[in-house]
């Protein structure tokens, strides 16, 4: 099966929306090859699909009024690169912050991300690389200097 460019973009957008909202985990799972998926994050953070799912669970637990939006999207073959902004109001403990559990500060937080996604020929996500400004993120979380 060959996946078309527009279908890859649509799948990426929907997977992100579901990860942030938490509306339908079974549908989220359908967008990933859960067995072989690998996540490569800032500061050398590496994870599998279960780890990524746990991270988004912690985001949904800690932040209210969450949203996700995408900026520039570039597709080459089965690879998609894009700008991503995830926002939410920090109202409960964030257990998976870059520095460990953090208490809420009630502030609006914006993750400003650059992502590269790799899909298999069935349109499932098999790898993701993320870069972000950790210093700015930690400052928004009230953990500057940690």
The CATH number covering residue 132 comes to: 3.10.450.50
CA atoms of 139 and 146, how far apart (whole Å): 9
Query: Could you tell me if residue 146 is inside a domain?
Result: no
Query: Could you tell me if residue 61 is inside a domain?
Result: yes
Query: Could you tell me if residue 100 is inside a domain?
Result: yes
pLDDT band at 17 (very low <50, low <70, confident <90, very high): very high
Residue 13's pLDDT is 95
Expressed as residue numbers, the domain containing 39 is: 5-141
pLDDT band at 144 (very low <50, low <70, confident <90, very high): confident
Question: For 37-42, what is the mean pLDDT?
Answer: 96
Percent of the chain residues past pLDDT 90, beyond the cut? 92
Question: For 78-86, what is the mean pLDDT?
Answer: 97
The burial of 62, by beta-carbon neighbours within 10 Å (0-12 exposed, 13-18 middle, 19 or more buried), is given as: buried
The count of structural domains within the chain is 1
């Amino acid at each position: 099966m060959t996946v078309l460019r527009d279908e890859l973009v649509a799948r990426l957008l929907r997977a992100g929306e579901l990860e942030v909202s938490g509306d339908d985990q079974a549908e989220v799972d359908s967008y990933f090859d859960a067995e072989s998926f690998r996540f490569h994050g800032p500061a050398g953070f590496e994870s599998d699909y279960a780890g990524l799912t746990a991270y988004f669970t912690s985001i949904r637990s800690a932040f209210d009024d969450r949203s996700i939006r995408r900026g520039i999207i570039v597709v080459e073959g089965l690879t998609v690169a894009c700008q991503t902004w995830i926002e939410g109001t920090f109202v409960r403990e964030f257990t998976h912050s870059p520095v460990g559990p953090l208490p809420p500060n009630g502030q609006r937080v914006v993750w400003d991300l650059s992502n590269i996604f790799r899909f298999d020929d069935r349109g499932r996500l098999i790898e993701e690389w993320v870069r972000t400004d950790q210093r700015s993120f930690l400052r928004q979380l009230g953990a500057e200097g940690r």
